């Protein structure tokens, strides 16, 4: 394929319920969507997972937008005949900005799969026809509200529950949740809210049969995570710290984690995500698909990625209706009563992109051509 145009749109999409982590509360998503168009007039869609501010990572919407407009899109539209994987290679001379790169790279993968007439998940090498789903539940206004939310999600069929923790909302909350739900698959995500000074807290958490503790320490650390992992029974899972396939190799070698959360944006797209998955699988490290409060487009890419063989644990990919009044794809993503999402059979991401709805939500737009 030869990419001849890239369209960027920024949309605003209010969340049904606020989402709070140790780094703050989100009530409305600001999302950059990418449409790549090739010389034959075929198209593909991708989503940039950069957030509304530089809190989860240093990238955010206002770094991603100009980086896409001024550097990444011009490189890809000036390219010769290339594959989706090669579109990622073209962008390598720009350092960092992996979420911005992933928005284009994943769109190229969608385009390539559509042109081949195959579902993206098969095109990527996926092997499962359905993916196991969990939910990520943010910090709530009260423990009671959290318990009610968990109850609702379990009734919806979700297979595991992840709760966010931070200082002041940790041990006592986990105690209450475990008491009320003794049997569920439960885990916590700290989004880097702690230091090694909290080793006693993590030792105390060992009692509650958590599947894992996600990213307890600094967002750019592996060394201290290795020290922590050696001190506790519960598995450490890294999210923020794994930005590249090399990071995965290093973290595993250091013993910094026993599980890895893979996010397409954080690792720069499907090609690198596949490399992280392969590295983890070869080392006996299970992976699962993280979420970034994506619209349907990013969600569809997550579903495709999570069909790869190494994704053996339930992820954070859940139904559109948990986030949005109306999604930007049709049909919306739905979850079965037993907690699975089926991989779609249509070509590419396998969902229709609702361009009318996207146009109505658009707050800025840019078109880059060769
Ligand atoms: O750490 O996994 C995280 C959302 C935004 C930023 C970071 C994270 C999250 C989630 C939400 O946990 C997962 C989702 O429901 O999309
Ligand atoms: Mg996380």
Q: Structure pTM?
A: 0.98
What's the Cα-to-Cα distance from 224 to each of 82, 196, 218, 260, 267, rounded to whole Å?
41, 7, 8, 16, 21
* C-beta 191 within 6 A of ligand 1: yes
Query: What separation in angstroms does the CA of 206 have from each of 199, 209, 213, 225, 333?
Result: 11, 6, 10, 16, 35
CB atoms within 10 A of CB 284: 9
Look at residue 301 and tell me whether its pLDDT is greater than 90.
yes
| Residue to mutate (ligand 1; options 13, 15, 18, 19; most atoms within 8 A of CB) | 19
Active site annotation includes 164: yes
pLDDT at 297: 98
Residue nearest to atom 12 of ligand 1 (CA): 136
Mean pLDDT computed over 261-268: 98
The phi-psi region of residue 124 (left if phi > 0; otherwise alpha if psi is between -120 and 50; otherwise beta) is alpha
The candidate with the shortest Cα–Cα distance to 301, out of 312, 317, 285, is 317
Chain segment 146-192, per-residue pLDDT in tens? 999 999 999 999 999 999 999 999 999 999 999 999 999 999 999 99
Tell me the two tokens of residue 196. 């090694």
Average pLDDT, the chain: 98
CA of 40 to the centre of ligand 2 (A): 39
Q: Which of the ligands is closest to the CA of residue 298?
A: 1
Mean pLDDT of 101-124: 98
Whether residue 305 is predicted with pLDDT greater than 90 in this model: the reply is yes
**pLDDT range class, residue 79, cuts 50, 70, 90:** confident
> Is residue 87 within 8 Å of 104, Cβ to Cβ?
yes
Q: Closest Cα to residue 201, out of 233, 171, 227?
A: 171
pLDDT in tens, 219-239: 999 999 999 999 999 999 999
Using alpha carbons, select from 370, 357, 283 the residue that is nearest to residue 324.
357
């Amino acid at each position: 394929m030869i990419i001849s145009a890239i369209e960027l749109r920024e949309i605003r999409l209010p969340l049904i319920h606020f989402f709070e982590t140790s780094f703050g509360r989100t009530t409305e998503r600001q999302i950059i969507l990418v449409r790549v168009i090739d010389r034959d007039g075929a198209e593909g869609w991708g989503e940039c997972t950069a957030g509304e501010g530089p809190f989860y990572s240093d990238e955010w919407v206002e770094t991603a937008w100009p980086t896409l407009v001024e550097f990444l899109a011009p490189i890809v539209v000036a390219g010769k005949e290339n594959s989706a994987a090669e579109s990622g290679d073209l962008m390598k001379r720009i350092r960092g900005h992996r979420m911005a790169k992933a928005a284009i790279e994943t769109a190229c993968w969608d385009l390539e799969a559509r042109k081949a007439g195959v579902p993206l998940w098969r095109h990527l090498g996926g092997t499962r026809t359905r993916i196991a789903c969990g939910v990520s539940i943010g910090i709530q206004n009260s423990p009671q509200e959290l318990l009610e939310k968990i109850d609702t999600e379990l009734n919806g069929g979700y297979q595991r529950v992840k709760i966010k923790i931070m200082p002041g909302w940790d041990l006592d909350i986990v105690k209450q949740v475990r008491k009320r739900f003794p049997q569920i698959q439960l885990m916590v995500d700290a989004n880097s809210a702690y230091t090694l000074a909290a080793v006693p807290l993590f030792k105390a958490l060992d009692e509650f049969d958590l599947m894992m503790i996600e990213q307890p320490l600094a967002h750019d650390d592996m060394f201290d995570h290795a020290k922590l992992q050696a001190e506790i029974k519960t598995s450490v899972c890294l999210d923020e710290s794994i930005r590249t396939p090399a990071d995965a190799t290093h973290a595993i070698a250091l013993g910094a984690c026993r599980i890895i959360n893979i996010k397409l944006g954080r690792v720069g797209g499907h090609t690198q995500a596949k490399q992280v998955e392969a590295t983890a699988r070869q080392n006996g490290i299970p992976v699962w698909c993280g979420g970034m409060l994506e619209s349907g487009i990013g969600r569809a890419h997550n579903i495709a990625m999570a069909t790869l063989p190494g994704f053996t644990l339930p992820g954070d990919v859940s139904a559109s209706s948990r986030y949005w009044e109306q999604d930007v794809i049709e049909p919306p993503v739905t979850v079965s009563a037993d907690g699975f999402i089926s991989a779609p059979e249509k070509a590419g991401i396998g969902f229709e992109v609702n361009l009318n709805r996207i146009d109505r939500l658009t707050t800025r737009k840019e078109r880059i051509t060769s």
